[in-house]
Every structure is written in C-alpha cells, then in structure tokens.
Structure 1
C-alpha cells in the first residue's frame, strides 16, 4: 500500500491493480471510498477496468476471426502494477504487457495511472501506450464505490445524482439480460430533469449505463450529509451507476467509461465493438477525470 497526502486530503493506493483504497478528508477524517470490512457485500474499492468493460459474450472476443479469453472488466485490476514515480502528493503506477496478458490481449502495451491530490480532491490520469507494431483497440473505465449514509447520517434514499449539462432527456442503454446490452436505448424513467434520485429498487435490476455524452460532471449528494462528491468526466463519454443487487448496500459506484459492455449474442470483434478506443502502433491515448470532494 502507498499513501499520498496534502493539507486537505489523504489517499491510499494498492499496487495490486493500482486500485484506490481510501480517500479521506483529513479535517474530520471522513472516508469517501467504500470498504467492505468483512461484510461480504463487495470486496473491491475502485478497480480499473482495462482492456475491456463489462462482460464479454462467452467470456471471449475476436481478433481477425480468432477467439481470445476476456473476463469481466478485463485483467488490469488483477495484476500488480509497478510504482514508477512518487512524491508526497502524487504517485504513478505502470502495468506492462507480459506473457500472461498476451494470452488474453495479444499486444505489447503499457498502462500508466497517476493519482494526484490537489486543493479540490483527486485527479486520476491514464495513459495507454501502444508499444506494439500493430494497431489495437481497448476499453478503459474506473469503478469507484462511494459511501453513502456514513455513520447513519440519513438514508440511501436521501441521495441523488445531479448531471451537468443534460441535453434533453437522460438516456440509458437497455440491459437485457444482465449484464449485457440489448442494443436499445431508452429514457431513464427515474430521472427528474437533470437529477437521478437514488433508491435500492432502482439499482436492483442491475447496472445503469447513461448515454448522454454531453455530461461533464456528476455529483453525489444528500441534503442530510455535509459531504458530497463530484466527478469531472469530460474525457469519458459514458457513465455507469451500480450498487450490488438486492443487498441494500450503503454505497454506490459512479463509473466513468470509455467503452461499453457487449451486446448479448456472439463474441464481439475488438475493432468493431461499440465504444472501443482505437490507438495506432507506437502511439498513445490519454484520458483523466477529477474527483472533487466537499
């Protein structure tokens, strides 16, 4: 584990998956990130999803007609990263391709993840380097779980998500069967203008993936809680909302996605899957988002 801090905040990151474990407001020792603590609800905190998001049909996908295995959300979250740079308030981690990753993703790459604390909260920067002689495509997402109703201050149903801006109705990709897309897009009936009131019932049917690429920020807040979280997500065209189904879990994941789960059916082609990001040989793609904390 590695801890970074500044005058306002403290963050802890694990080398396994370069996963954020903790994000604390130092003034009142308030923890924003979910931790299961043996409750058996969800053992992760904020995994990185790469090079796939969601579940692949038959846990496989295709390149040039050849099938490759790919587990849900890819493999980056289950590999140790190497710490390559570190100072008091920032840390950069690296995952490079190896013999095991090439059995699932037959390309040479480097994924760099940098966490930097600032006066508003935490910036998370990603660089995907294609160090192969061939072009490739990938998905990349972040899956942070944020605590709600901490210390019994209010209820889950007191919270809402506020989206800015929204051009018309809030749209969602239809999920059927869970966790696959069915190819349709519909209005999110639970939305009220640019707000989504949270209930466990809303999330008991599985994840919600929003199709409003104009959204630049999403805020999680409650009138009964002085702390709130806002994600600045300009580089990510999709947002997912999830909490474990039928567990009444006291947290919600707000997930910036650059990529999408498969549509249900046959294994998809890496280069033709909707939402995937293409990167040329010897080139790179960069993306970032900011977590503002109150």
Structure 2
C-alpha cells in the first residue's frame, strides 16, 4: 500500500489496480472513500473498456477477443515510477495475458497529486503499437454517503452538474448493464440537479449524456460538506450505487467511453460509440480534480 499526504489529507493507494483506497481528512480522521463490505472495491480504474461487452467478447480487425467487464487494468499490479510526499505515479503496460485479450503494446500511467483539499488524478495513455489502438477509460471512485460523518440519510443529498442545462439526459440502460441505444431524460432531475434516492438506481447505473459538462458536485442543503469532480476531459459521467440501503456510498465516475449496446452481434471496437483512438506512438491525457469540503 502506498501513502501520500499533505497537511490536510492522507491518501492510500493499492498498487494492485493503482486503486485509491482511502482519502482521510487529517483533522477529523474521516474517510471520504467507501470501504464497506457491500461493494468490495473503492475506486477502480476502468481500461481498456467501460462496462460489459456483448457475450464478454468484441471484434477487432475481424478477430474475436474475450473481454471481461470494465477491462483488466483494475486487476494487475502497477509499477511505481515516481513518488514524493504528496504525489505518486504508477504505470501499467501490456503483458502476455493482456496481449491475448487486447493485442496492443501500451502504457497507462496514473498520477495522484495532493494540493490543499484537492486530489488531482491524471491519466496518460500511450499507444506503443504499430496500428491504431481503440480504448475506453473510466475512473470509478465510490464516496461515502453521508459525507465525513454527517448524520444524514442518502436521500438528504443531491448531485448537481455544471454548467446548468435545461434537461439532464442519460443513456437508457436495458437490459442491465447494457445500453439499448436510446437517450432519455433523467427521471426526477430538476434541470442540472438530481435528488438522490436508492430507487433511482433500480435500472443500474445512470450515464449522463449532456455534452460540455465541466463538473459534478455531491452536496446536501443540511450540511456544509461536499465532494466535487471536474469533468472537462471526460465526455460522460456515470452515477452508481447498490439498491441495498446498507450500501452507503455513491460512485461519481468520469467516463471516456461507453458500455456496449445490447445486441446478438459483437461490437467492432474500431466503430464503437464513445471509444478513443490513438495512432502509433500517440498519447493522450485525461484528468479530474476531486475537491473535498
């Protein structure tokens, strides 16, 4: 387990998956990140796919490959390439196993940096292969709700997106966890704000589809605490929790990619909606800043 800290926050990262496991306020000793038993993960990195593929397979250049839900990056040990008191960088590259399911030489680096009450999370993806590389990338942090010891209920909170829109829309999930190709209004949303309730997640995750969003905030009118994430580098953001009231967390997930549309046919990753593409030797950067109050 790796640790970084400044005078406000202490952060722990598991080298397996480069997964953020704790973000602790040093004054109150309260942890912002979910560590309960109902969901065994904390903040997995999703690569090279987001969500589930039809029949757990996909097509690339006419060949069929196996691919499990959310990809493989969350399950392998990453390598620390740089470490300071308040920052750490880890890298994942291809191995014999990944090449059988994703035939590319690549590097995926994540850097966690603390500054005051913020944690910046930066991703750098590079294609080291000789052909164009398709991929999806997602960050799946689960935050405790109530936040840092608030004596409140899940339903006391809301999420707000910025800039304000007249109507929040989402990709319809049907059947869970696939898309069906339709975009529908987010039920119960009031312009850019969605009051939280467990019933909102009866259909699984909510993938917001409003181009140009720059941020998301989790807050309550009954508390001064809030959690926000910047979204400028990510075209989508997903919300997810379990419908079990004991699962007191909410995932706010910046997505650069999408789950499959449900089909009897496999998805060609060179044509998949939401995918990113890197030419040989190209790289691209994504970042989100988490602000904790």
TMscore range, shorter length: over 0.9
Q: What do the CA deviations read for 1:88-109 (whole angstroms, capped 9, x no partner)? A: 0000001010111101100100
Q: How far is 1:147 from its partner? A: 0.3
Helix, strand or coil for the counterpart of 1:103?
A: helix
Helix, strand or coil for the counterpart of 2:97?
A: helix
- Following the alignment from structure 2 to structure 1, what is the Cα–Cα distance between the partners of residues 235 and 155? 27
- Following the alignment from structure 1 to structure 2, what is the Cα–Cα distance between the partners of residues 286 and 211? 21
- Following the alignment from structure 2 to structure 1, what is the Cα–Cα distance between the partners of residues 277 and 199? 37
The one of 257, 260, 263 aligned to 1:262: 260
The one of 163, 167, 170 aligned to 1:169: 167
- Following the alignment from structure 2 to structure 1, what is the Cα–Cα distance between the partners of residues 219 and 111? 26
Partner of 2:220: 222
- Cα RMSD of the aligned pairs, angstroms, is 1.1
- Following the alignment from structure 2 to structure 1, what is the Cα–Cα distance between the partners of residues 88 and 52? 30
Partner of 1:85: 82
Helix, strand or coil for the counterpart of 1:58?
A: helix
Asked whether 1:131 is paired with 2:111, we answer no
Q: How far is 1:190 from its partner? A: 1.3
Partner of 1:250: 248
Q: How far is 1:142 from its partner? A: 0.4
Partner of 1:118: 115
Partner of 2:275: 276
- Following the alignment from structure 1 to structure 2, what is the Cα–Cα distance between the partners of residues 139 and 277? 6
Q: How far is 1:233 from its partner? A: 1.0
Q: How far is 1:248 from its partner? A: 4.3
Q: How far is 1:278 from its partner? A: 0.4
- Following the alignment from structure 2 to structure 1, what is the Cα–Cα distance between the partners of residues 273 and 198? 29
Q: What do the CA deviations read for 1:118-145 (whole angstroms, capped 9, x no partner)? A: 1231000000110111111100000000
TM-score, length of structure 2 as denominator length:
0.97
Q: How far is 1:205 from its partner? A: 2.1
Q: What do the CA deviations read for 1:231-253 (whole angstroms, capped 9, x no partner)? A: 01100010100001345411010
- Following the alignment from structure 1 to structure 2, what is the Cα–Cα distance between the partners of residues 189 and 292? 27
- Following the alignment from structure 2 to structure 1, what is the Cα–Cα distance between the partners of residues 16 and 192? 36
Helix, strand or coil for the counterpart of 2:272?
A: coil
- Following the alignment from structure 2 to structure 1, what is the Cα–Cα distance between the partners of residues 31 and 218? 14
Q: What do the CA deviations read for 1:229-277 (whole angstroms, capped 9, x no partner)? A: 0001100010100001345411010000000000000211111100000
Partner of 2:287: 288
Question: In 2, are the aligned partners of 1:48 and 1:143 still within 8 Å (CA)?
Answer: yes
- Following the alignment from structure 1 to structure 2, what is the Cα–Cα distance between the partners of residues 146 and 208? 16
Q: How far is 1:65 from its partner? A: 1.4
Q: How far is 1:172 from its partner? A: 0.4
- Following the alignment from structure 1 to structure 2, what is the Cα–Cα distance between the partners of residues 151 and 24? 12
Helix, strand or coil for the counterpart of 1:226?
A: coil
Question: In 1, are the aligned partners of 2:174 and 2:203 still within 8 Å (CA)?
Answer: no
- Following the alignment from structure 1 to structure 2, what is the Cα–Cα distance between the partners of residues 161 and 230? 9
Helix, strand or coil for the counterpart of 1:225?
A: coil
Mark the runs of 5 or more structure 1 residues left unpaired by the alignment.
none
- Following the alignment from structure 1 to structure 2, what is the Cα–Cα distance between the partners of residues 157 and 104? 41
The one of 143, 146, 154 aligned to 2:143: 146
For these two proteins, the number of residue pairs brought into alignment is: 291
